[in-house]
Chain A
Amino acid sequence: MTLYGSFTTTHLLYLVMAIGWTLVLSGLAFVLGSIAGFGVMLARISPRPWLRWLAMLYIEGIQGIPLLILLFIVYFGLSVYGFTLPSLVAAGLAMMVYVSAYLGDIWRGCIEAMPKPQWEASECLAMSRWQTLRLVIVPQALRLSLPPTVGFLVQIIKMTSLASVIGFVELTRAGQVINNTIFQPFLIFSLVGAFYFALCYPLSRWSETMEKKLNVANRQA
């Protein structure tokens, strides 16, 4: 069935299916990136100076390199060493590295925003460093970290559009493929943009309202 010009329901279905792959890649990047990012955060606040320095170097280094270049390095790097991985895995790995540097930095800020007496009180209760983190600091920092983390999730969803350059068929790539056959770039990329907007806007709003609530709570305290 044609919807507009030569744009048919088949094309629309193809785009909708591609949203699924965008979500899969976003989920993969977020989960892997959070795990690695938590490690980066721990290293960044470690009592050992060399570990702190290493983590800082990692964060500064990765944050200075565009994700696109990181993607190329992982994609070509793995292939020259003889690993032929599907583009989903290559994109997931590159995004893991990128996301971990940003999330590690965001979460470090949240942990460091916790009042110092919390640490001291835990020490007085003879809690180990790990216990303090697990039972006292992280549960409280979690509330603080939720708005920026959700805000960053929006970035992750938008970043997945870059996976199109190494041939992973997600939303942007699907748009390009359809555009190559029927050549209606304005319609197709507007539609692709609208789909991204539909994914990202609710998350942005959610992050914003959470932040506002948090600010109100902070002001009263």
Chain B
Amino acid sequence: MKYHLDFSALLPYWPVFLTGAWLTLKMTIVAVVCGVCVGTGVAFAKRGRNKLLARACAAYIEIVRNTPFLVQIFLLYFGLASFGVRMPTFAAAVLAMIINIAAYAAEIIRAGLESVPRGQIEAAECLGLSRWRIGWHVMLQPSIEKVYPALTGQFLLMMQASAMASQISAEELTAIANTVQSDTFRSLETYIVVAALYLALSLLIKLITGLLGKVLFKRRRVLRQAAARAGKPAPFASQASVASHGGAA
């Protein structure tokens, strides 16, 4: 059987696709911002003195990282609904994403925190810095800078994982694709278009995080400028051993 790809049937739907892409992007941004904040807290708590809290955080990270995102969504949406906690699909999807990315971000940030040399923390203590300032200036900032590539890789994977939210029919790009394809019966073309949109979204996120990285890390910017003035290549080969363990799936 010969089949001809025909994208013209999808032309009237382009605003719908764009809305879907925007919804996916919005979901991802909200989940990433909240997730990184929660994850930072979890990473500190896991290293903290409170043994019980540290254990609980470790268990949370392991449980989330070793179960599929799809099952997490189902558990959150259908499971809580059976206890009478009903929430809109969009909120449930975003909440599941936050819970998921917080665990991955915590693990990545923890790896960064562990790479901070003990001597630096001790030096900061000797200088009389308060615990909060040590945490922010000496520990968190340099470690975020170090694990930034791994973190952004995780954001990308999260954006892709948001496609699974369509399974509880939360409104986003994949769910919209499902409706469009049942309207037009052009399933293959619809999913090819959606794949291209996801690709564009990941390029966009890569671009945004890349630019953000350039603005955010002052030390790195200064070093790069100095290297450029001296006519040498920039000194950073981004190494991310945690990256290969990522994946929201």
Contacts and interface: CB of A to CB of B under 8 A. Distances in A.
Contact-residue size bin, chain B (C-beta under 8 Å from the other chain): 35 or more
A215 to B, nearest CB: 8
Interface in A169-184: 172, 175-176, 179, 183-184
Given A65-B198, A65-B199, A69-B198, A158 B3 contact: no
Contact of B164 (A63, A64, A162, A190): A162
B192 to A, nearest CB: 6
Given A61-B199, A158-B69, A161-B68, A67 B74 contact: no
A106 interface: yes
Interface stretch (B8-16, B58-66, B222-230): B58-66
B241 A211 contact: yes
Contact of B66 (A67, A152, A179, A201): A201
Contacts of A80: 3, 187-188
Contacts of B174: 66, 68-69
Interface in A78-116: 80-82, 106, 109
B164 A76 contact: no
Contacts of B245: 148, 151, 207
Interface in B226-249: 241, 244-245, 247, 249
Given A64-B202, A158-B249, 12 more contacts: A64-B198, A64-B201, A66-B160, A68-B163, A69-B177, A82-B3, A151-B244, A161-B68, A185-B74, A186-B79, A200-B66, A204-B62
Interface of A: 61, 63-70, 72-73, 76-77, 80-82, 106, 109, 147-148, 151-152, 154-155, 158-162, 164-165, 172, 175-176, 179, 183-186, 189-190, 192-193, 196-197, 200-201, 204, 207, 211
5 contacts: A64-B201, A65-B195, A66-B174, A68-B174, A72-B177
